[in-house]
Amino acid sequence: MYKKKNQVLIWQAGILLLMPLSVYSNGCMSIHTAARAGNVDEVNRQLAWGVNPNTRTFPWYLDTPLHFAAAYGRTEVVKLFLEKGANVNKVNEGGENPLHYATRHLNSMDAQFRMNFSKLFNRMI
């Protein structure tokens, strides 16, 4: 099997997979980690390198980086993903889109913060 630089073979559920080296053991890629941390510079850098903003965690949950940014209230990262074409309607394994994550995790947030998210998603929370 041909293996490119920066890829690793992973044995998962009886299947040998060729995955990018940036995939962590929890199924997240570095763009998911940067989104969760609210690291706008790193997210922007990875998007400039051609990382797909709709990349899913694998093999668990199938969350996109936008799911992570929404769940952790990272408004600047959410805005960046939406500007770069992230799909706000992409659902994960549980049928939840990033807006579901935002509403669940923002229930305890102040009203102004919730309004900012509403504007970003162009919907009411």
Which residues have a Cβ under 8 Å from the Cβ of 45 and sit 6 or more positions away?
none
Residue 92 lies in a domain: yes
Question: How far is it, in rounded angstroms, from Cα 70 to Cα 77?
Answer: 8
Residue 100 lies in a domain: yes
Residue 4 lies in a domain: no
CATH of the domain at 37: 1.25.40.20
Residue 111 lies in a domain: yes
Is the pLDDT at 34 greater than 90? The verdict is: yes
Is the separation of the CB atoms in 92 and 59 below 8 Å? no
Phi, psi at 78, each rounded to 5°: -60, -45
Is the pLDDT at 56 greater than 70? The verdict is: yes
Residue 75 lies in a domain: yes
Instruction: State the pLDDT confidence band at 4, using cuts at 50, 70 and 90.
Output: very low
Task: Indicate the number of domains in the chain.
Answer: 1
Residue 9 lies in a domain: no
Residue 67 lies in a domain: yes
**Pairing of the two strands 7-12 and 15-20:** antiparallel
Residue 15 lies in a domain: no
Does the global pTM surpass 0.75? no
pLDDT tens-digit profile of 69-98? 998 889 899 999 999 999 989 999 999 999
Show the domain range for 93. 25-121
